Amino acid sequence: MSDLSRIGVAIEEDLLEDFDRLIAERNYPSRSEAFRDLIRDALSRDSVPAGDAAVVGTVTIVYSHSTRQLADRMTTLQHAHHHEVLSSLHVHLDHDNCLEVIVLRGAYEQVKLVADSLIAMKGVRHGQLVMATV
Ligand code: NI
**Angle made by CA atoms 101, 104, 106, in degrees to the nearest 5:** 170
The dihedral sign for the CA sequence 54, 55, 56, 59: negative
Q: Ligand 1: distance of its center to the CA of 62 in Å?
A: 10
Q: Ligand 1: distance of its center to the CA of 63 in Å?
A: 9
Q: Ligand 1: distance of its center to the CA of 14 in Å?
A: 42
At 1-55, the pLDDT tens digits run: 578 899 998 999 999 999 999 999 999 999 999 999 888 888 877 677 888 899 9
CA atoms within 13 A on the CB side of 62: 7
The dihedral sign for the CA sequence 5, 10, 11, 17: positive
How far lies 73's CA from each of 2, 65, 80, 124, in Å? 48, 11, 11, 12
Q: What is the pLDDT of residue 5?
A: 92
